[in-house]
Amino acid sequence: MHTDGSGEGAPVKVRQRNAADKGRARPTDVVPTEVRRIIFSQIEPEQGTSAPSVGNMRMLLDIPLEVRVELGRTQRLLREILAIGPGSVIELDRLAGEPVDVLVNGKIVARGEVVVVDENFGVKISEIISSVETLSSELGEEVRDNETGGL
């Protein structure tokens, strides 16, 4: 954005490139433009809409969410991954019988134990993770990532 430095967004005239300059970029060459400050009006809430209406909340109930259950994690070298075949066992960072994490759209929301329902696996919820716990764990990961340079 080009302004005259006054903060008022006054138009600034700049030098136009000519055909002979084509292909030769110079730091002083800029396409002419006029920049003005845009002023937006405040958006006021409608009268009597301090809380979400039931109708609006019902619209949200049909939004699909991805639910995943994480049994555990591990890290392996590429050569170890390439050596995986039928019968290979990959050891995870969780002990047998330890609760699994239930994630909704990538965020942990609960923990539970693996159960079998008919012929399918399921999770019996044993703990709901509060939003405060989720936030502190996310901030903790962010802090650890910043300390290690994202490694």
pLDDT in tens, 102-140: 999 999 999 999 999 999 999 999 999 987 766 666 676
Domain ranges across the chain: 1-39, 66-148
Q: Which residues pair with 123 in a beta bridge?
A: 114
SS (H, E, C) 70-92: ECCCCCCCHHHHHCCCCCCCCCC
Does pLDDT of 17 surpass 60?
no
Q: What is the pLDDT of residue 37?
A: 83
Instruction: Determine the average pLDDT of the residues in 65-90.
Output: 95
CA atoms within 13 A on the CB side of 25: 3
Q: What is the pLDDT of residue 62?
A: 87
Instruction: Determine the average pLDDT of the residues in 13-29.
Output: 58
Q: What is the pLDDT of residue 2?
A: 46
Asked whether the beta carbons of 98 and 59 are under 8 A apart, the reply is: no
Q: What is the pLDDT of residue 41?
A: 82
Least trusted range by pLDDT, from 17-26, 51-60, 100-109, 114-123: 17-26
Q: What is the pLDDT of residue 29?
A: 61
The CATH topology of domain 66-148 is Surface presentation of antigens (SPOA) (2.30.330)
Asked whether the beta carbons of 134 and 119 are under 8 A apart, the reply is: no
**DSSP one-letter code for 57:** H
Structure-block tokens of residue 1: 């954005």
Q: Give pTM, 2 decimals.
A: 0.51
